[in-house]
Amino acid sequence: MRSFRSTSGGYGRRLLFEEREFDEIATQELRSAGCLPSAPEAIRIDRFVERRFGCTVEYQDMGEDVLGATLFNNDGSVRGVVVALHLETETADRLFRSTVAHEAGHGLLHSSLFIVDPAQADFRIDNADFKSGRIMCRSGDVKPGQGRGYDGRWWEYQANRMIGSLLLPRPLVMLAVKELLEKTSITNSPNLPAQRRDRAIAAIANVFQVNPVVSQIRLDEILPQNSGQMEF
């Protein structure tokens, strides 16, 4: 992770993570919290929040279109994770899981931005309330795979990137689709044939209890489609 002053967008300080760091951070944090299974299964993201941040996920009516919020103490530590009251219903369970993972992403990646210190005063974003130490996330903010159509709101892109890394850990996804993979003839690297991709997407969604779109985006990150080029 690197931190630098942004000269555009009016956001002041900016944090930059390399793509590999999202998976590395998520896997390490899940393992440290005792929430990384040894075999493919749904991640207990609510339990992870409780163990990692020392708080339970709470339900609140936060107003129209707000799905969740992460609450920070003055030292940057997380004091609460809140999700919209309507996500408590069974039909919203998978959206609940994505929202909690998004908020956990803010907690893991952005705590330093909420430390009360004069040096942090130049960081300004439109969905953060620094007086009460919270970042509010609307339905338009929680978008797994937001790299497609990334709108420049880097803090939300980063939290969205963590949805896949937390709910679909790379090692477990590879185990879940192991029987569908082939070895390429020259490099002997794993490859998912195009005709098996839909089966893999459905299997991942079912095993890890995520929406199919989340499953597809994560699979494309881990095992990119060949895009019509020759397979080796």
Determine the pLDDT at residue 124: 63
What is the DSSP secondary structure assignment for residue 231, as one 8-state letter?
A: P
d(CA 91, CA 207): 17
Written as one string, the DSSP assignment of 154-209 is HHHHHHHHHHHHHHS-HHHHHHHTGGG-EE-TTT--EE--GGGHHHHHHHHHHHHT
d(CA 80, CA 50): 9
Provide the 10 A C-beta neighbour count for residue 193: 12
Determine the pLDDT at residue 123: 58
d(CA 147, CA 151): 8
Determine the pLDDT at residue 148: 53
Helices (H), the chain: 19-32, 45-53, 93-109, 154-167, 170-176, 197-208, 212-222
Provide the 10 A C-beta neighbour count for residue 202: 13
d(CA 192, CA 181): 5
Tens-digit pLDDT profile for the chain (232 aa)? Answer: 766 565 555 456 778 899 999 999 999 999 999 999 999 999 999 999 999 999 999 999 988 789 999 999 999 999 999 999 988 876 678 999 999 999 999 999 999 888 876 555 455 677 877 777 889 898 888 887 655 555 678 889 999 999 999 999 999 999 999 999 998 777 778 889 999 999 999 999 999 999 999 999 999 999 998 644 444 4
Q: How many helices (H) and strands (E) does the chain have?
A: 7, 9
Determine the pLDDT at residue 231: 46
What is the DSSP secondary structure assignment for residue 87, as one 8-state letter?
A: G
Phi, psi dihedral angles at 37 (to 5 degrees):
-65, 160
Determine the pLDDT at residue 107: 97
Determine the pLDDT at residue 228: 43
The tokens describing 145, both together, are: 């795979």
